[in-house]
Structure 1
C-alpha cells in the first residue's frame, strides 16, 4: 500500500507539475502587469470594506477563511521538510512560487466570484462551478468536485491532525490518541454549526495566531541578528547551486520549495476560490485582489518566520532523498514540527515545545475547518439537482474519522496522501484557469477601468460578454448591496 502511494505521488508531482505552477504564475503576473504589486494600496481598503449578508460572508471573513486553509501545518512542518530534503535554497523557491502564485490566486478567486451561485440560501462557488459554467465541461466539473471531496474530506485532514498530534506529544507528552479525541470533539462542534460558525471562528483565530507566531519569530531573529546576513546569503546561494555544501541538490531545492510552497499557500490549487466565492462584494476583482494578498501573508510572512527561526538557530538537518546527509545538526530528529520546536527552545528553553505545539494546533485546526467547508461546497455542487442530505452527514463522519486516524498514523504516509490530494486538485484547476484566461483578464481590466473613472466598481457580465454568470445577471442588485453592506 505504502509503495503504491509513494509511486502515485511521484507521478502526480513530476517535474511537469512543478514547472507548470511556476510557468502559469509567471504568465498571470506578466499578463496582469504584476497586479500583486500595483494594487497593494487597495488591499487594506478592500479587505475591511463591506459586510456580510444572510447569503454571504464579508470580504475579511472570506480572507480569513481562505487563510485558515492556507495557513496550516505547511507553515511549520512543511517548511521544515522543504529544508530537510531540499536544503536552505528551498526557502527561496517557496518565496518565488508565492510571489508568482499571487497572480494565479487572483484569477481563480475572481473566476469563483464570476460564476458563483446562491444555493440553499448561501453563496457557493469554486472550480467545479466555473468549469461547468465557463468551460461548459460538466464531466470535468464533476471530476474536480469528486477529487476535491476525496482530497479535502479524506486525504488532507490527516496531515494536519498528524502534525498537531506530533507537536502536542513533543511539547506536552500527551498521547496522540487523546489529542485525536479532543480534535474530533472540537471539530464536530464547529462543522455541525455551518459555514457561518466556521467563518466566525476563522475571523477571530487566524489573525491572532499568525501575529503571535510572527512576533516570536522576530524576537528570535533579533536575538540572533548577527547571523542574519549569513542566513540570507545561504538561502540565495543554495537556491542557485552556488553554495559548496548544497550545490549538488539544486533540483531538490526547486522541487521541494515549489511543492511545499504550493502545499502551504495553495495558489492555483483550487481551494481558496471556495471561500472567495462566499464573499459579499460588488465586483469579482475585489475579492481576487484580497485573495492574492493572502498568498503573501501565508508564505512571505508565516513561512518565512518558520524558515528564519530554523536557519538562524541552526536547528535543522539536510538529507536529500536517496543521498547522504549534508547537515546533521539535530541527529536523528524526524523532519517536521520538531525542527521549529528545537529552534525556539534554543533561545527560550522549555518554551519552544509547548509554544510550537499550541501554534501548530491553531494553524492546523483552522485548516481542517477550511477543508471541511471546501468538501461540503463540492458535495453541494454534486447534489445540486437532487437533495441528498444524508451525504453531508457521511462527509462529516468521514472527516472526523480521518482526523482521528491521521492523529495516530505515521507522518510519512500522512504527508504522501496529502501530496496526492494537493497535486490532483492542482492539475485539474490549473488547466481550467488557463482555459479561462480571457474572462479573468477581462474582469481585471473592467475593474481597473471603473477605478480610473472614479467609480466604485460594480460587475456587469453582460457588458463584458461573459455568459452564464446567473447570479450577477438575475439576482445581484447594487442598490440593495450598498444598503446591506456599505460596499
Structure 2
C-alpha cells in the first residue's frame, strides 16, 4: 500500500509540475490581460451582483436558486478542511513564502474563475429544480464535444462527491475523537460516521433548494466563527505581525527558507494548495454558478470570482496568520490540521480545540453538501434516469460513512492527481471558449455604461449555437420585473434626451 501511495505522489507531482502548473498560470495571465484585469477592475460589481434580486417565474416563485445561494453552494465546497489542513501543509512544506504564492494564485485564478462561471451560465439548461450546468455542459454545447463533457463529468464525480467528501468525513472523525481524547475508542468513528451520513442523507435527498438553504445558513456562520477565533489569536501576537508579513514576502523567493525548500517547490506548493482550496479554474465552482437565476451570465462570473477571494484572502489567510504568529519556528512543524490545532491550543488553551472541532465540522459538512451537488449536476449530464440519481445519492452517503472509519493517506494522494487531470481538461475547454466570455463581458460593461441593469438574451449573440435558455427578456427577468426594467430604460432615455 505504501508503494502505491508513493507512486501516486510521484505521478501527481509530475502532472502538476510539467502540465497543470504551466497551463494554470499561462491561461490565468492571458485571461487577466484580455479581460482588462476584470478580477480587480469590477470588484464593486461583484458585491453589487451578490445581492441581486432573483428573477421569478410565471407562478411567482424564484426561477432557481439566488446569486447568493449559488455563491454559498460553491463556497461550501471551497471552504473546507483544505483551508485549515491544506494551508498548514503548504506552510510546513514550503514555509511562509507559500502563502504569497497562494495569494498570487487567487488573484490570477480570479480571471479563470470569471471565464468558467460566465460560460457555465451561458450554456446552462433547465431542470425540475431550476437550472443546472457546468464544464460538461459548455464542452457539449460550446465545443460540440459531448465525449469531452462525459470524461470531465466522470473525473469530477470520482474526485469530489466520493474522494473529497470521504476525506471531509475522515477529518470530522479525526478532529472529534482527538478533541475528546478518545483516539483508542474503536466504536467512536462508527458513531460519528453514522451521524454524519444520516445528516448528509437528510439534506441531499431534498434536492438543490434544500442544499442551498442549508449552505446559506452554514457558510456565513462558520466563516464568522473562524474569523473571530483567528483575530483573537492574531491580536494576542500582534507584535509578531510585521515579521510575519516580511517572512511571507521575502521567503516567497527562496531566501532563508525555514524548511530548506527550494524556490520551485515553494511555488508549486503554494499554487497547488491554493487551487485545491479556492478551485479557481478547476471546473467545480461553475456547477454551482450555473444553478443561479440571474439576468446576465457575467453576473455569476463576478460572484464566483468573489468566492475565490473569500476563500483565499479571508479564510486561508486567517489560517496562515494563526500559524505564523503562534509558531515562529517551523523547522519541526507537523503537516496538516495538527499545525493549526497546535497553534490555537498553544495560544488560547484547550477550550479552543473544542471550538475548532465545531468549526471543522461545519466546514467539512458544508463541503460534503457542495461536493454532492457538483456530482449531481454531472450525473444528470450523463443520464436523466432518476434511478441513477437515487443510486448516486445512496453511494455518496455510503462514501461519507466509509471515509469516517478508514485511513485517508491513499485517498488524498489519488484525489490530488485526479484533481490535476480535472483542472487540465477544464482549462483546455475554457481556453478554447474564452472569446465568447470576453464578448459577454463587453456586452455587460456596455449596458452598465448605459445605466442599465444588464440583461442578456441569446439574440445578442445569434452566431453562438447551443444556448438553451436566455430566450427573451421576459423569460430572463420574469413577468413582473420586465415592466419595471422597461420603465427604468425609458426614464434613462428621457434623461439622456434632456441632457442633449
Q: TM-score, length-normalised on structure 2? A: 0.90
More off after superposition, 140-149 vs 279-288: 140-149
Cα separation, 1, equivalents of 2:354 and 2:328: 17
Contact 2:129 2:208 in 1 (8 A): no
2:98 aligned residue: 90
**Mapping 1:146-165, distance limit 5 Å:** 146-165=154-173
CA offset at residue 414 of structure 1? 3.0
Cα separation, 1, equivalents of 2:261 and 2:382: 47
1:126 aligned residue: 134
2:18 aligned residue: 15
Cα separation, 2, equivalents of 1:437 and 1:110: 10
Cα separation, 2, equivalents of 1:468 and 1:474: 15
Q: CA 1:482/1:286 → structure 2, altered by over 3 Å: closer, same or farther?
A: farther
Q: Does 1:480 align with 2:478?
A: yes
2:193 aligned residue: 180
2:46 aligned residue: 43
Deviation digits for residues 411-454 of structure 1 (CA, Å, limit 9, x no counterpart)? 32232132133222111111100000100110011000110111
More off after superposition, 166-175 vs 69-78: 166-175
Cα separation, 1, equivalents of 2:234 and 2:221: 20
CA offset at residue 216 of structure 1? 1.3
Cα separation, 2, equivalents of 1:458 and 1:273: 20
Q: CA 1:309/1:45 → structure 2, altered by over 3 Å: closer, same or farther?
A: same
Contact 1:91 1:307 in 2 (8 A): yes
CA offset at residue 348 of structure 1? 1.1
**Mapping 1:60-79, distance limit 5 Å:** 60-79=68-87
CA offset at residue 396 of structure 1? 1.5
Alignment partner of 2:478: what SS? Answer: helix
1:364 aligned residue: 364
More off after superposition, 294-303 vs 208-217: 208-217
Cα separation, 2, equivalents of 1:239 and 1:200: 40
Cα separation, 2, equivalents of 1:432 and 1:27: 14
Cα separation, 1, equivalents of 2:458 and 2:179: 53
Contact 1:209 1:363 in 2 (8 A): yes
Alignment partner of 1:135: what SS? Answer: coil
CA offset at residue 198 of structure 1? 0.3
Q: Where in structure 2 are there 5+ consecutive unaligned residues?
A: 56-60, 183-187, 486-500
**1:211 alignment partner, one of 215, 218, 224:** 224
Alignment partner of 1:269: what SS? Answer: coil
Contact 1:36 1:292 in 2 (8 A): yes
Q: Alpha carbon RMSD of aligned pairs, Å?
A: 2.0
| Structure exhibiting the larger radius of gyration computed from Cα positions | 2
Contact 1:154 1:399 in 2 (8 A): yes
Cα separation, 2, equivalents of 1:250 and 1:225: 29
1:374 aligned residue: 374
Cα separation, 2, equivalents of 1:13 and 1:194: 35
Q: CA 1:184/1:339 → structure 2, altered by over 3 Å: closer, same or farther?
A: same
1:320 aligned residue: none
More off after superposition, 168-177 vs 337-346: 168-177
Contact 1:461 1:467 in 2 (8 A): no
Q: CA 1:19/1:412 → structure 2, altered by over 3 Å: closer, same or farther?
A: same
Cα separation, 2, equivalents of 1:367 and 1:423: 19
2:450 aligned residue: 453
Deviation digits for residues 125-169 of structure 1 (CA, Å, limit 9, x no counterpart)? 000110111111111111111211222232221221122222212
Cα separation, 1, equivalents of 2:328 and 2:197: 32
Cα separation, 1, equivalents of 2:15 and 2:339: 27
2:438 aligned residue: 441
Aligned length: 471
2:256 aligned residue: 243
Cα separation, 2, equivalents of 1:299 and 1:66: 13
Q: CA 1:315/1:157 → structure 2, altered by over 3 Å: closer, same or farther?
A: farther
Cα separation, 2, equivalents of 1:245 and 1:303: 20
Q: CA 1:477/1:145 → structure 2, altered by over 3 Å: closer, same or farther?
A: same
CA offset at residue 485 of structure 1? 12
2:273 aligned residue: 260
Q: Does 1:5 align with 2:3?
A: no
Contact 2:94 2:266 in 1 (8 A): yes
**Mapping 1:328-367, distance limit 5 Å:** 328=332, 330=333, 333=334, 335-367=335-367
CA offset at residue 191 of structure 1? 0.5
Contact 2:5 2:409 in 1 (8 A): no
2:498 aligned residue: none
CA offset at residue 119 of structure 1? 2.2
Cα separation, 1, equivalents of 2:328 and 2:342: 6
CA offset at residue 51 of structure 1? 2.5
Contact 1:315 1:342 in 2 (8 A): no
Cα separation, 2, equivalents of 1:194 and 1:244: 48
CA offset at residue 247 of structure 1? 6.0
2:312 aligned residue: 299
Deviation digits for residues 302-351 of structure 1 (CA, Å, limit 9, x no counterpart)? 0000000011100774xxxxxxxxx01x5xx4x22221111111221112
Cα separation, 2, equivalents of 1:306 and 1:65: 22
Cα separation, 1, equivalents of 2:47 and 2:307: 11
Alignment partner of 1:123: what SS? Answer: strand
Q: Does 1:109 align with 2:117?
A: yes
Contact 2:457 2:473 in 1 (8 A): no
